[in-house]
Structures are given as structure tokens and as C-alpha cells.
Amino acid sequence: MSSKKNKKLTPVQQKYQSFAKAREPKPSVLRNCMRAFVSGGAICTFGQFLQWVFMTYFDFNEITAGNPTVAVLIIISVLLTGFGAYDHIAQWAGAGTIIPVTGFANTVASASIEHRSEGFVLGVGGNMFKLAGSVIAYGVFSAFVVAIIKITIQSLGGI
């Protein structure tokens, strides 16, 4: 019963698992997709609105407006996390609130708040990237791989 990669369940375990599976409610994929579409879409539309505000009323163009837009979204989601509202919204919205930049801000903020009781160095500093760390590590690595592919294609006379 240990966790070897080639772990095999005994017939009794297999029988029980299908017995239990038949009695467990399944997450509604369709409903979750719809909610994610609506909530994720709403966040993106709001981001688009912010970008328009920065371009119309401030001295930003389409490219430079990206930074202040993201900053505002991050501040809002960190505040919602701090006030204890974000996790309730996310239980409803699912992937809709995790995938946009708001989800990333929430992982960092929630971990920081959670470990405040262990102090600023070992607690907040040490745990801030507990959840976000793997996103950063693999995000940077994926960007690196994509960049290598792009450079290779370009040097071979591609696009």
C-alpha cells in the first residue's frame, strides 16, 4: 500500500473505490466552465475598462497602459483577500478568479497573511511564495523555452 509509482490497488480496494465513486457527487464541469467564463470574462472586461481609462484620462498608450492596469487589479484582489472576501468569490467562480493575474495576487497575499504569526522573516518572507513559487519557477522556465524556440526559428530564416 505504499506509494510506489507502479502502485497497484488490491481487488478489495478497487472494489471499494468504485463503490464509493458511485456515491460521491461529481463536480459539475459544465456549470464550473460557465461560471469561470462569466467571472473570468468579467475580470478581463474590467481590465479592458481600466486600460481605456488610463489611455483616455492619463498619459498612456496601448502598450504602457498595461502596467498600471495590472497594478490596479492586483491591489483590488489583495484588498479583497485581506478583507476575507476573495476565497468566497473563488468558491463560486473557480478557475475564473484563479487564472487571471488576480489569482496570482491572491496566492501571494493569502500565504503572507496566513504566516504573519510566524514573524516577518520566517513567516511572511519565507512563505509568501509558498504557492506562487511554482508558478514563478515554471512560468520563467516556460518563457525561456519559448524564447529559445523563437530564436532558433528566426535564425533559421523563419518568421
Partner 1 sequence: MLKGHQSWIFNSKPVILSSAAVGGPFEAQGPLGSDFDLLHEDIWLGQDSYEKAEKKFLEQACEIAIQKANLKKEDIQFFISGDLMNQIISSSFAARTIGAPYLGIFGACSSSMEGLAIASLLIASKSAEYVVSATSSHNASAEKQFRYPTEYGSQKPPTAQWTVTGAGAALLAQEGDGPRVTSATIGRVIDMGISDPFNMGSAMAPAAVDTIEAHFRDFNISPDYYDVIATGDLGKIGHRIAGDLLAEHGLKIPREILTDCGILIYKKEQPVIAGGSGCACSATVTYGHFLNRMRKGELKRILIIATGALLSPLSYQQKESIPCIAHAVSIEM
- Please name the residues in contact with 123: beta carbons below 8 A apart, sequence gap of 6 or more: 115, 116, 117
List residues near partner 1 by CB under 8 A. 1-3, 9-10, 12-14, 16-17, 19-20, 23-27, 32, 81-82, 84, 86-87, 89-91, 93-95, 97-98, 103, 106-107, 109-111, 113-115, 117, 130-131
- Nearest approach in angstroms of CB 60 to partner 1 is 29
- Nearest approach in angstroms of CB 67 to partner 1 is 23
- Nearest approach in angstroms of CB 50 to partner 1 is 20
What size, in residues, is the chain?
159
Residue nearer to partner 1 on the CB measure, 53 or 131:
131
Residue nearer to partner 1 on the CB measure, 10 or 61:
10
Residue nearer to partner 1 on the CB measure, 27 or 157:
27
- Nearest approach in angstroms of CB 127 to partner 1 is 8
- Residue 142, CB half-sphere, CA atoms under 13 Å: how many? 6
What cell was used for 156? 533559421
Burial of 158 (0-12, 13-18, 19+ CB in 10 A): exposed
Distance separating alpha carbons of residues 104 and 76, to the nearest angstrom = 12
